[in-house]
């Protein structure tokens, strides 16, 4: 059990809360698209802040706690970037004007933090009370890894509207009187004297749906790296902070990270196997080994988890950028004679 000073825990959440409020105030007062320089500075600030926080954890807690934080932060950051890709699709699908996208992104990020906080509390209680939950988490992550790998194999197929419009969204389209145009970030407007909902309602429903799905995926993943609720929560918050600026910074780069799903599949599959091994090591299910722990089952150390995560992300990014660069050169050579 991680034993942290109360002042450190309280101070951490006060600082993080103040940063989120400041970010919200900036969006509210300046609903515009940030420049590349501004977005770069903000993203660098949040990444540096996470690195410093991990270093502070070494002093306040231990190197083990810091390693768990870094592994959790990198995993959640990767999943958050995947979440960001869905946000890009939603923005494009509903043609959200660029000046309003900051507000939509901020809504999505704040909702993601709230949802993940709820799932973290539920997960922490479940793990403390029922050790067999590790089996469920592990199998769920392995299933998710297989699903992501399958998506990677079929990534060339064009996503259909139905893929991103679930039953709730389709129902909303039929039931709600929707205007054709946006009215800033307002959810209601008046058209020809009638009160109507704006398309922003559907955008928010879409963002909320994506957040719920990614919260379900992300929480078992990080509990496979650490059981400390404080580390789980802070790693999630740090991973989500700065995503708004990252959205505008990388823009089309998301489309160039073509192997991102494959990298996430490897990471989630690895963590899923680690969870199942841990569940076997702590086993209490009566139909598995007579309810006794399997002490000979190996435990995966946190340093190995961190190494696998870093190596996978590095290889995924390098391979993606190299592949897209080759594709561009091939296209240029093919277009050359025709010109």
Under-50 pLDDT residues of the chain? 156-164, 339
Q: What is the pLDDT of residue 15?
A: 92
- What is the rounded distance in angstroms from the CA atom of residue 281 to the CA atom of residue 278? 5
Q: Domain locations in the chain?
A: 6-327
pLDDT at 272: 83
Q: Which tokens in the block code for residue 141?
A: 């992550």
Distance separating alpha carbons of residues 170 and 279, to the nearest angstrom: 40
Among residues 74, 152, 134, 149, the alpha carbon closest in space to that of 273 is found at 134
- Average predicted confidence (pLDDT) for the chain: 79
CB-based burial label for 87 (10 Å; 0-12, 13-18, 19+): buried
With CA atoms as reference, report the closest residue to 257 among 37, 71, 81. Answer: 81
Residue from 133, 261, 75 nearest 67 by CA: 75
């Amino acid at each position: 059990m991680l034993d942290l000073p109360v002042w450190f825990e309280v101070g951490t959440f006060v600082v993080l809360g103040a940063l989120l409020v400041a970010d919200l105030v900036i969006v509210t007062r300046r609903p515009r698209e940030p420049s590349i320089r501004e977005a770069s500075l903000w993203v660098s600030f949040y990444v540096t802040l996470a690195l410093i926080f991990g270093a502070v954890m070494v002093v306040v807690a231990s190197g083990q706690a810091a390693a768990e934080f870094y592994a959790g932060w990198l995993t959640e950051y990767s999943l958050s970037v995947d979440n960001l890709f869905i946000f890009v699709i939603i923005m494009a699908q509903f043609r959200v004007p660029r000046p309003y996208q900051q507000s939509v992104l901020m809504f999505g990020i704040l909702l993601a933090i709230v949802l993940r906080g709820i799932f973290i509390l539920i997960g922490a209680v479940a793990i403390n009370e029922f050790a067999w939950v590790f089996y469920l988490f592990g199998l769920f992550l392995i299933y998710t890894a297989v699903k992501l790998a399958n998506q990677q194999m079929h990534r060339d197929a064009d996503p259909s509207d139905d893929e991103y419009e679930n039953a709730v969204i389709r129902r909303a389209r039929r039931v709600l009187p929707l205007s054709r145009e946006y009215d800033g970030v307002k959810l209601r407007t008046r058209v020809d004297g009638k009160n109507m909902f704006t398309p922003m309602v559907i955008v928010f429903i879409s963002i909320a749906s994506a957040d719920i799905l990614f919260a379900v995926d992300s929480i078992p993943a990080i509990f496979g790296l650490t059981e400390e609720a404080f580390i789980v929560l802070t790693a999630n918050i740090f991973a989500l902070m700065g995503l708004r600026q990252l959205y505008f910074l990388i823009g089309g780069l998301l489309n160039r990270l073509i192997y991102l799903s494959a990298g996430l599949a490897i990471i989630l599959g690895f963590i899923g196997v680690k969870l199942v091994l841990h569940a076997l090591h702590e086993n209490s299910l009566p139909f598995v080994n007579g309810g006794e722990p399997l002490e000979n089952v190996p435990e995966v150390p946190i340093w190995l988890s961190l190494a696998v995560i870093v190596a996978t992300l590095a290889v995924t990014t390098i391979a993606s950028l190299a592949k897209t660069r080759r594709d561009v050169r091939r296209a240029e050579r093919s277009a050359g004679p025709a010109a």
